[in-house]
Structure 1
Amino acid sequence: MKKIVLFILLIVLIFSACEKDDFCIKNPITAKLVIDFYDDANRETLKNVTSFYVWAEGKDSIYSNERISSISLPLNSLATETVYNFSKENIINQFTIRYTTQDEYVSRSCGYKIIFNEVTFLSDNTWINDFTPETLTTLDNQNEAHVQIFH
């Protein structure tokens, strides 16, 4: 009888020590910067960029397309700025994004996501005529465009 009780106690201890599987279902992704391109003459109309290439400073091309009117770009969460080069018909425009980062705990299964605060944008305006806004308080979702670039 003692052996049966010890056996049952051992089984209970073994199963109580197991952890349940954790699956992240909250979609905790770190937001990407969403940019829409607009016609400078008619600021309400999206305008495709032709022969478009994008690369981060010191990296290979991360995006190339013949025609595009919107793009989502990741920011470097280990730095305080990310510099992208936008090439349109072989004319290069440097676009700099500066920010501070904040880790936000989502859950044990999801871990952390990065929130970008005090985001500022700078451009050398070669083929980009203008952009809005120049600053953002927080970049924490990618449901809509963060920056509108006019060309």
Structure 2
Amino acid sequence: MKYLKILVIPLLFIVILMISCERDDICPDSTPTTPRLIISAYNESSPDNTKFIDNLLIFGVGNENSLSVTVEDIDINYDGTGNILDIYLPLKTDDDTTQYILHKDYLYDDNDTPDDTSDDIETSNADTITINYSREQVYVSRACGYKTIFNDVTFTIETDDDNWIKSRISVNNNQPVEDETETHYNIFH
């Protein structure tokens, strides 16, 4: 009986310890995390029809690296030839403003001298967009942590002599960006 007590107490302790432990959580890819702003492109003269954006190159203001089809931070819905219909832009989670420069009809010519950048030519029509919002941290799970929801999103286009983005419209009022299942803004060009 004495040996039974000696065995029961440690076994009971081990069982309680095992029940209280949880398996290591891994955040599944299917779990929604911080969403990106989705912008769809439409024809200015025929607003019900989508319109491709040719040769688009995107730079985040304050970021020297461009966002392109090959960068994981941005997804672009395009027809396989570089014609773009939808843009998924990440928003800053540590600031209430994000700016991008969208270069339409971007062309780069190194004049057949790849080692000499002094004669390189870059052409495009660049428009700067500013996205303002308020941030809300939402707990997802222990494995996934927190995600940021963007509320009261506004989208402005800086005016210049040759804007290719003619106008924009919010898909719904008091625009929140909570998920990536539908477009948040439409641009007309």
Question: TM range, normalised to the smaller chain?
Answer: 0.7 to 0.9
Matched, 1:62 2:67: yes
Q: d(CA) in 2 for partners of 1:123 and 1:78?
A: 22
Contact persistence 2:40–2:187 (CA under 8 A):
yes
**4+ residue stretches of structure 1 with deviation over 3 A?**
23-26, 134-137
List gaps (5 residues or longer) in structure 1. none
Q: How does 1:85-96 map to 2 (within 5 A)?
A: 85-89=101-105, 90-96=124-130
CA separation of 1:144 and 1:10: change in aligned 2, threshold 3 A: closer
Tell me what 1:84 maps to: 100
Aligned length: 151
Percent identity (aligned) = 33
Q: d(CA) in 2 for partners of 1:10 and 1:130?
A: 67
Matched, 1:103 2:122: no
Residue by residue, what CA displacement relative to the aligned partner does 1:83-132 show, whole Å, maximum 9, x if unpaired?
00000121100010001100112222332111111111110241111111
Tell me what 2:119 maps to: none
Flag the structure with higher strand content.
1
List gaps (5 residues or longer) in structure 2. 70-80, 106-123
Tell me what 2:188 maps to: 150
Q: TM-score, normalised by structure 2?
A: 0.72
Q: d(CA) in 1 for partners of 2:24 and 2:8?
A: 29
